Structure 1
Amino acid sequence: MYVVLGANGRAGGEVARALIERGEAVRVVLRRKEQGEKWTAFGAEVAVADIDDADAMADALKGAQAAFLLNPPPASGDPFARTEELGAALADAVRRARLPKIVVLSSIGAQHASGTGVIATLNRFEALLDGAAPATAFLRSGYFVETWGEVAETVMSESVLPTFLEPSQKIPMVSTIDVGRTVAALLCEEWTGKRVVELSGPEDWSAGDVASAFADVLGHPVKSMLVPPEQRAAILAGEGVPHEVARALLGMFEGIANGLFVRQGDSEQRRGTISLAMAVERLVTTGGR
């Protein structure tokens, strides 16, 4: 039995699907039982628990051979304080459940304790979970291609790709499909101790490459448009992003611009198989979802 957190999110959903496709028994952990109807239909077991409730999480993890854990994207409050609370609670739950193996979602660039905005929370998240299970793997993922779904409607309606990333700067990106498949493979592998695995797509891509991929799928030109740094905070505020969360997100883009979103080098390196064109075509087909 494999336990998956965040199954109704991008990465967790792909992990659960990949495990089910491999014929493995899966238990998804959700906040409310009604959220689990589709997973029950897929044959998964559903456990109900708040991710920061160590008692409930320990119960949800009991009897499993491995689990996929993650630090959900911040929605409000101080992302760093939230990471401290959540990481401590999950580590406690893993130890109390005597879970033998965990795979923890992290990010390329998480080797830096500062200078990377919200990514730096994952540096701390890794530290809190290090050693919680006899076998621990930190999967440091590239920038999710699916994140561009947030501007897909603008791209399709206005033929412009707004971006906080410098259009020509190539960085590690990856489809969440590859994240799910890689996590499933890691969960099913045998090892002991700590591993750091860095995952990116078949090649590194830029925002300009993403615009070109949209253009190919849509059949008309798409131009990438860099949003000036001085305008970004107001844009996030207009979208309802709380100030502390916005500051952490903007810090991430500053860290990327400063060259900190790079592979550590001495970690295990893996590349996925989903091309940028395939990932973008899925975004267009689903309307960015």
Structure 2
Amino acid sequence: MYVIFGANGRAGGETARALLERSEPVRVVVRHREQGERWKALGVEVALASLDNAAQVSDALTGATAAFLLEPPPVANDPFEQATAISTALSEAVRRSDLPRAVVLSAVGAQHASGTGVIATLHQLEASLAGTAPATAFLRSGYFIETWSEVAECAVADGILPSFLDLDQKIPMVSTTDVGQAAARLMTQQWTGTRIVELGGITDWSARDVAAAFAEVLNRPVKPMWVPPEQRSAMLAEEGLPEEVVTVLLGMYEGITNGRFTREDGTEHWRGSTSLTTAVEHIVTKLRTAV
């Protein structure tokens, strides 16, 4: 049995689907029963647990061959306090349940304890889960291409792609489709000890490359627009995020600009197969379907 946390999110959902494509038995773990209904319709087993509750997580891991673990996006007033509660509960639950193999979603740059904003919470998660299962893999993903869906409407409606990233700075980016495929591959492999796998796309891309992909998909010009730091706080605050969450998100972009979103020497470096244009086409299709 392969147990997936975060199945209703991007990476967790893609991991569950990748395992189902392999005809593997899957159990998704959700916080509320209604969140599991669409998975039940696919023949997937559903368990209930809150990520900060070690007993519930341990129960959800019962009988697992491998599990996909992750830390959800920060929503609390203190993102590091939230991360501590979740990483502590996960590590305790893995030990309690004698989980044989864990694949933990992390991010490129998680080798740094500071200077990376919200990514530093994943450094904390890695430290907490290291060695808790006989086989543990930290899947350090590049910047999700699907994150651009948050500003895709601007590209579609106005031909402008707002970016917190420096326009010409190429960084590891990857589609969550490839994250799911990589996670499923790791979950179904046999190994012992700890692995760090850093996952990027076919090549590294910049915000300007992303704008060019939108232009290709939309068949009209799309101009990337760099958003200066002094305007970013207000944009994020408009989404209703607590000030502390805004701070760590902005810290991530500052860390990327400062070159801390880089692969670590001595790790496994994997590449996905989804092109930037294909990933953007999926974003645009989903946006148009939702209208």
TM-score by length of 1: 0.99
Distance across 2 between alignment mates of 1:33 and 1:230: 41
Distance across 2 between alignment mates of 1:76 and 1:99: 28
Query: What's 2:174 paired with?
Result: 174
Distance across 1 between alignment mates of 2:94 and 2:230: 43
Query: What's 1:96 paired with?
Result: 96
Deviation at 1:265, TM superposition (A): 2.1
Residues 138-157 of structure 1 aligned to structure 2 (within 5 Å)? 138-157=138-157
Runs in 1 of length 4+ with deviation above 4 angstroms? Answer: none
Contact 2:98 2:133 in 1 (8 A): yes
Deviation at 1:63, TM superposition (A): 0.5
Distance across 2 between alignment mates of 1:51 and 1:25: 22
Deviations 1:9-32 (A, max 9, x none): 000000000000001000000011
Q: Provide the aligned C-alpha RMSD in A.
A: 0.9
SS in 1 for 2:198: strand
Query: What's 2:207 paired with?
Result: 207
Q: Which amino acid aligns with 2:112?
A: H
Q: Does 1:248 align with 2:245?
A: no
SS in 1 for 2:154: helix
SS in 1 for 2:105: strand
Query: What's 1:162 paired with?
Result: 162
Distance across 1 between alignment mates of 2:111 and 2:76: 24
Q: Which amino acid aligns with 2:265?
A: G
Contact 2:76 2:82 in 1 (8 A): no
Query: What's 2:184 paired with?
Result: 184
Q: Which amino acid aligns with 1:247?
A: T
Query: What's 2:60 paired with?
Result: 60
Q: Which runs of 5+ in 2 are unaligned?
A: none
Query: What's 1:118 paired with?
Result: 118
Distance across 2 between alignment mates of 1:160 and 1:79: 31
Query: What's 2:229 paired with?
Result: 229
Q: Which amino acid aligns with 1:64?
A: A
Deviation at 1:241, TM superposition (A): 1.4
Distance across 1 between alignment mates of 2:155 and 2:86: 36
Distance across 2 between alignment mates of 1:212 and 1:196: 32
Deviation at 1:199, TM superposition (A): 0.2
Distance across 1 between alignment mates of 2:146 and 2:46: 26
Q: Does 1:271 align with 2:271?
A: yes
TM-score by length of 2: 0.98
Q: Does 1:69 align with 2:64?
A: no
Contact 2:61 2:99 in 1 (8 A): yes
Q: Which amino acid aligns with 1:244?
A: E
Distance across 1 between alignment mates of 2:67 and 2:222: 41
Q: Does 1:18 align with 2:18?
A: yes
Distance across 2 between alignment mates of 1:242 and 1:66: 35
Distance across 1 between alignment mates of 2:48 and 2:114: 34
Distance across 2 between alignment mates of 1:137 and 1:97: 17
Q: Which amino acid aligns with 1:54?
A: A
Deviations 1:36-83 (A, max 9, x none): 111111111000111111111110001011100000011122111111
Deviations 1:163-201 (A, max 9, x none): 000110000000000000000000000000000000000
Deviation at 1:5, TM superposition (A): 0.2
Distance across 2 between alignment mates of 1:181 and 1:213: 23
Deviation at 1:142, TM superposition (A): 0.2
Distance across 1 between alignment mates of 2:118 and 2:196: 19
Distance across 2 between alignment mates of 1:206 and 1:226: 12
Identity, % of aligned pairs? 62
Q: Does 1:108 align with 2:115?
A: no
